[in-house]
Structure 1
Amino acid sequence: MPAYHHGNLRATLLEAAERSLREHGAEQLSLRELAREAGVSHAAPRRHFADRQALLDALAETGFARLDTELRAALATAGADFPVRLHAASAAYLRFATEDTALLDVMYAGKHRADRVAEAAAAPFGLLNDVIKDGQKHGAIAPGDPHRPGVLLLATLQGIAALTNGRLVIPELLDGILEAAIEQFLAGQRTSRQ
């Protein structure tokens, strides 16, 4: 654990919370334990997080911001070809979803109170929506509300991630499954246009 430095307690607590989340899950996350680990009084975390749920909200917000960064990085190197962009964004999402399962669970917990969590989630989902709109512009995805095929894509990716995280799909098969999923997604979109 990095030593706490004055003025940096919120970041220190979030780092410790992420470690605890990975090692023990959200159920074991405790502000008191995080304070002990940071070497501060048990009341000190309350200056940054009113309660445990506020800490979970902050973790979810951090997770969505990180997902947004990873999607942006993948799309920045993908070029302009729609299928390549779709694959890059999908692979980045799957990588994120399978590398930090506990954080992903917190992100999708549905118990969040903070509007900031919804705002943070809007950024990466907006990027995926933009990829869908690009597919519509190029005729690979049926015209209309991009939200519908976007939700279908996200549900597909999340399902693959859940199966992988549950060890029902071995990670070595992930690339092939992703290729097949994208192929089926695009074939379904072509069929729905006809």
Structure 2
Amino acid sequence: MSETEKRAGRDSNRATYRHGNVRADAVEAAYRMAAREGHEKLSLRQVATELGIAHRSLYNHFADRDALLDAVATEAFDRLAARLKRAVTSADFARIYARYALKNRHLYGLMTSRPHATMKDKPELQDAVHRVISEAMRISAPADADPGLRRRAVMKDFILMHGGLSLFAAGILDLPSEAALIDELSAMIATRA
């Protein structure tokens, strides 16, 4: 260790030193942790421990825990939007959306926990949400349709999807399996008026 590092109290060989993109690594680690255990108790300290860095260093990349959760939600919305690009019909859209939400229950819970009213202050998250909405609009309503009608068509789809998924998760819907739920949601969205 150099004299300058000794005076500054820094050890260039300490175990928490790392190269790479700390922010991206933190988002990926938090994404995995939230997918596995949920976001409710996820902390910056846990993510830092997972990465082998000092937890205070994450504050260079995230203002607080909510900023980290917003970044994870952004990643989850982006991954869902990428999958939804494969949808050709509204039934395809419903199947892809429902499968993602059911396979990633904890992440879906995080995604739906982000308040839309505050998204104007979170442009990356807002853009990711809009990528999902754009895929819904592409499927639900023709581009030349009245904007109000397009918005209502997308809202109907999201209300139906989220409502069905929430009721199924709560054990309220009398369906024998996730596959049955996906079939029902696909049929409802394909035939909605």
TM over 0.5, shorter chain: yes
Change (3 A) 1:36 1:145: same
Aligned to 2:122: 114
Change (3 A) 1:5 1:92: farther
Show the 5 A alignment for 1:1-194. Answer: 6-72=19-85, 74-75=86-87, 78=88, 85-111=89-115, 113-134=121-142, 145-168=149-172, 169=175, 170-185=177-192, 189=193
Change (3 A) 1:109 1:143: closer
Matching residue's letter, 1:164: F
8 A Cα contact 1:98 1:164, kept in partner: no
Structure 1 unaligned regions, length at least 5: 79-84, 190-194
Matching residue's letter, 1:127: E
8 A Cα contact 1:12 1:38, kept in partner: yes
Matching residue's letter, 1:46: Y
- State the SS of the aligned residue for 1:134: coil
Aligned to 1:81: none
The percentage of aligned residue pairs carrying the same residue is: 29
Change (3 A) 1:147 1:33: same
Tell me, in whole angstroms, the C-alpha distance in 2 between the residues paired with 1:95 and 1:66: 13
Following superposition, the deviation at residue 178 of structure 1 comes to 2.5
Tell me, in whole angstroms, the C-alpha distance in 2 between the residues paired with 1:27 and 1:182: 31
8 A Cα contact 1:129 1:150, kept in partner: yes
Change (3 A) 1:65 1:173: same
Following superposition, the deviation at residue 47 of structure 1 comes to 1.6
Tell me, in whole angstroms, the C-alpha distance in 1 between the residues paired with 2:189 and 2:150: 16
Following superposition, the deviation at residue 180 of structure 1 comes to 3.3
Q: Which runs of 4+ in 1 moved over 6 A?
A: none
Q: So what's the TM-score if we normalise by structure 2?
A: 0.77
Point out the more displaced range, 171-180 or 62-71: 171-180
Q: Which one has the largest radius of gyration? A: 2
